């Protein structure tokens, strides 16, 4: 999975910026997302993997930080995470 390509010269700075973004996200969401990614990647049945991903996304919406994230997006402001 690649989300950005950078030069060797800019690698350290680019990596630090990405690490700060991840660290600023709600820890509960990152933990759930990381576990779900690895579980989905190991699933052989593509339909079951999509169904599992859908369930994870629905359950993520029940986390209080999801409401804050959506509200912040709509209000065009930075979210204030609880976790």
Phi/psi of residue 65, each to 5°? -65, -20
- pLDDT, tens only, 35-69: 999 999 999 999 999 999 999 999 999 999 999 99
Average pLDDT of the chain, as a whole number: 93
- pLDDT, tens only, 1-12: 788 899 999 999
Please check the confidence at residue 32 and state whether its pLDDT lies above 80.
yes
Burial 18-31 (b: 16+ CB within 10 A, else e): eeeeeeeebebbee
Average pLDDT over residues 24-38: 92
43 half-sphere exposure, CB direction, 13 A CA radius: 15
The DSSP code sequence of 51-66 is: HHHHHHHHHHTTSHHH
> How confident is the model at residue 76, as a pLDDT?
97
Please check the confidence at residue 83 and state whether its pLDDT lies above 90.
no
């Amino acid at each position: 999975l690649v989300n950005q390509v950078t030069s060797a010269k800019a690698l350290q700075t680019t990596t630090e910026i990405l690490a700060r973004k991840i660290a600023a996200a709600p820890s509960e969401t990152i933990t759930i997302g990381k576990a779900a990614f690895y579980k989905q990647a190991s699933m052989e049945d593509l339909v079951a993997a999509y169904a599992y991903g859908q369930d994870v996304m629905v359950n993520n919406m029940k986390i209080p930080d999801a409401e804050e994230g959506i509200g912040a997006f709509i209000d065009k402001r930075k979210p204030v995470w609880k976790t």
